[in-house]
Amino acid sequence: MTRHFLRDDDLTPAEQAEVLALAAQMKAAPYDHKPLAGPRTVALVFDRPTLRTQVSFTAGIAELGGNPMTVDGGLAAMGQRESVEDVGRVLGRQASAIVWRTAHQADLDTMATYAGVPVVNALTDDFHPCQLLADLLTVQEHVGRLTGTRVAFVGDGACNMGNSWVLAGAMAGLHLVVGAPAGYEPDEDVVKRAVDIAAGTGGSVTLETDPVAAVTGADVVVTDTWVSMGREEEAADRLRLFAPYAVTPELLAHASPGAIVMHCLPAYRGKEIAAEVLDGPKSVVWDEAENRRHAQKAILAWLLEHS
Ligand code: NVA
């Protein structure tokens, strides 16, 4: 069976732990694992802006001994010039795996159905599971464990990062609190699924509208842009609505004294996060960005080994 990574819970909690352990090994010895030697090609398709995802996959695939092949989604004009089904069939004949950043989760599902090789979600409107593997690796490194760690995600809960934190966090046994205005919670079905998973891992998921209550006692405080890709027209309303959820030194004072701060980037200083927090001693955002490479190498290697 071909394994895909389209959303965080395409892995079981035990498989997630396995991938994270592999990522830590790969980080410790970045040039020692060559499962893509040949080299095997991995297609990287981007329909939307990217920095970290493109560079970390490109460098990571090269380190695995493989050949990264970037495809400009705009030029390919998928869904217009040719169907997602046909693109999937074509890419699957050239590449050993496909990594795709696009808006709609349903298109990714279609690609996975027709490609015949592992497909990896490099961000959709609904999930950003590669980022979460990197983030969990970062929590493990800085906090020393995942199970029982208290994480507060504040700001726009109704975005890919909110959904992925809830789902991947529940799988890892985190106590996750989302602090978001009413109407901006993570997706209801995702929260239900996460609550079910948390019952088996010892984690929990709590929704809060009060930012102070959300961060109180947190070991990790996480935020994301208030204006995700595709939401640009709502920017003015969002900046007003989310202002009380900004990660400032004052808000952070309610977290645990040793708390770390995370942000998947790009970050907007003075909006969702104060400059002195992003650039301050509690911030681990650059480790988080580096860990994209290690985590993505691990998921690619794992999917190919299990397909
Ligand atoms: N929620 C953000 C994540 C960027 C990596 C977005 O979708 O734009």
Residues 184, 216, single domain; the answer is yes
Band of the pLDDT at 134, cuts 50, 70, 90? very high
Reply yes or no on whether the pLDDT at 263 is more than 90: yes
Residues 30, 52, single domain; the answer is yes
Q: What is the pLDDT averaged over residues 127-155?
A: 98
67 marked as binding residue: no
Reply yes or no on whether the pLDDT at 303 is more than 90: yes
Lowest mean pLDDT among 12-26, 63-77, 136-150, 160-174: 63-77
Q: Which of 238, 30, 214, 15 is nearest to 129 (CA)?
A: 15
- pLDDT tens-digit profile of 147-182? 999 999 999 999 999 999 999 999 999 999 999 999
Reply yes or no on whether the pLDDT at 76 is more than 90: no
| Centre of ligand 1 from the C-alpha of residue 289, in Å | 14
Residues 194, 301, single domain; the answer is no
Band of the pLDDT at 78, cuts 50, 70, 90? confident
Residues 86, 234, single domain; the answer is no
What pLDDT sits at residue 50? 94
The torsion angle over the Cα atoms of residues 142, 145, 149 and 155, rounded to 10 degrees, is 40
ipTM: 0.99
CB atoms within 10 A of CB 45: 22
Residues 75, 136, single domain; the answer is no
Residues 167, 282, single domain; the answer is yes
Q: What is the pLDDT averaged over residues 222-236?
A: 96
Reply yes or no on whether the pLDDT at 77 is more than 90: no
| Centre of ligand 1 from the C-alpha of residue 184, in Å | 15
Please confirm, yes or no, whether 159 is among the known catalytic residues: no
Query: Identity (one letter) of the amino acid at 112?
Result: A
Residues 118, 18, single domain; the answer is yes
Residues 143, 275, single domain; the answer is yes
Q: What is the pLDDT averaged over residues 188-197?
A: 98
Residues 279, 145, single domain; the answer is yes
Residues 142, 284, single domain; the answer is yes
| Centre of ligand 1 from the C-alpha of residue 18, in Å | 26
Q: Verify whether ligand 1 is closer than 6 Å to residue 201 (CB atom).
A: no
Q: Verify whether ligand 1 is closer than 6 Å to residue 78 (CB atom).
A: no
Reply yes or no on whether the pLDDT at 74 is more than 90: no
Arithmetic mean of pLDDT over the chain: 97
Please confirm, yes or no, whether 101 is among the known catalytic residues: yes
- pLDDT tens-digit profile of 45-54? 999 999 999 9
Name the packing angle between helices 188-201 and 13-28 (round to 10°): 80
Residues 193, 259, single domain; the answer is yes
Q: Which of 292, 284, 291 is nearest to 267 (CA)?
A: 284
pTM: predicted TM-score of the whole model, two decimal places: 0.98
Band of the pLDDT at 20, cuts 50, 70, 90? very high
Domain that holds residue 142: 131-288
Residues 151, 283, single domain; the answer is yes
CATH of residue 195: 3.40.50.1370
264 marked as binding residue: yes
What pLDDT sits at residue 75? 84
224 marked as binding residue: yes
181 marked as binding residue: no
Reply yes or no on whether the pLDDT at 110 is more than 90: yes
| CA-closest residue to ligand 1 atom 1 | 228
Domain count, the chain: 2
Q: What is the pLDDT averaged over residues 206-211?
A: 98
Reply yes or no on whether the pLDDT at 80 is more than 90: no
Among 292, 293, 294, 296, which one carries the catalytic annotation? 292
Pocket perturbation via mutation, ligand 1, pick of 50, 51, 264, 273 by most ligand atoms within 8 A of CB: 264
